[in-house]
Amino acid sequence: MKRLRKVKPVVISMGNVAASGGYYISAESDYIFADPFTITGSIGVVAMIPNIAKLSDNIGLHEQDISKGKFANAFSIYTKPDESMINSIRMSIKETYLEFKQRVADGRGITLDEVELIAQGQVWSAEDALQNKLIDETGMISDAIKKAAELSNIEEYTIKYYPKQKNFFEEIIKDKFDIDIAETVISNQIKENRGILRAWQLFKSIKNDPLQAVMPFELEN
């Protein structure tokens, strides 16, 4: 994000949820929009280690672990972590949490103490996030696009959406059959049957324009 900001302004538009990792990415942008129903924040780190040691004992299922290094099997589901392993994982979580908070502090221009008050894994609505300085404004993606143009000093621009959205009829056709496969099959048989030739032409027509108005029969001379 920092490298990108050296090239162009970066404006974030948050949708339904942009929490934890979503906010981690957003924090160091130039400007953040959240729609009125966004859930964001969740500045925190959690580690969950599943353990089935007791279950495996009950059913007679065991693992023979061959490893090198004190913490090599720290995340084994068959071994209950000892205190030293837990402390090591806890230290790693603490370091990641501090890094997360520092990114938020740097990106939002607030102190680490201010970040701590709104961090601790707490989630916020868009309105609360605005009050807590986690976002700059509530708005939709159209507002974010306008802001990006403003920050870039651009008055005329075009918008491209990715991935390309299929229209209603393309979605229907894709659900019914795969035109590309049908096209391949028909092309292999095209010289053998006049009806197949007509089908080939129809398929090519549908591929270029999914909305068709055709008769359910053909007229021949």
Residue 109 has pLDDT above 80, yes or no: yes
User: pLDDT tens, 192-220?
Assistant: 566 666 666 665 665 555 555 555 556 56
Does 51 reside within a domain? no
* Low-confidence winner among 124-128, 143-147, 193-197 (lowest mean pLDDT): 193-197
- What pLDDT score was predicted for residue 126? 93
Which residues are catalytic, by number?
20
Does 75 reside within a domain? no
Number of domains in the chain: 2
Task: Assess whether 99 and 200 both reside in one domain.
Answer: no
Does 52 reside within a domain? no
Return the higher-pLDDT residue of 186 and 74.
Answer: 74
CATH classification at residue 140: 3.90.226.10
The answer to whether the pTM exceeds 0.75 is no
Task: Assess whether 132 and 191 both reside in one domain.
Answer: no
Does 68 reside within a domain? no
- What pLDDT score was predicted for residue 210? 53
Q: What is the 3-state secondary structure (H, E, C) of the chain?
A: CHHHHCCCCCEEEECCEEECHHHHHHCCCCEEEECCCCEEECCCCCCCCCCCHHHHHHHCCCCCCCCCCCCCCCCCCCCCCCHHHHHHHHHHHHHHHHHHHHHHHHHHCCCHHHHHHHCCCCEEEHHHHHHCCCCCEECCHHHHHHHHHHHCCCCCCCCCCCCCCCCHHHHHHHHHCCHHHHHHHHHHHCCCCHHHHHHHHHHHHHHHCCCCCCCCCCCCC
Task: Assess whether 197 and 98 both reside in one domain.
Answer: no
User: pLDDT tens, 22-52?
Assistant: 999 999 999 999 999 999 999 998 877 777 7
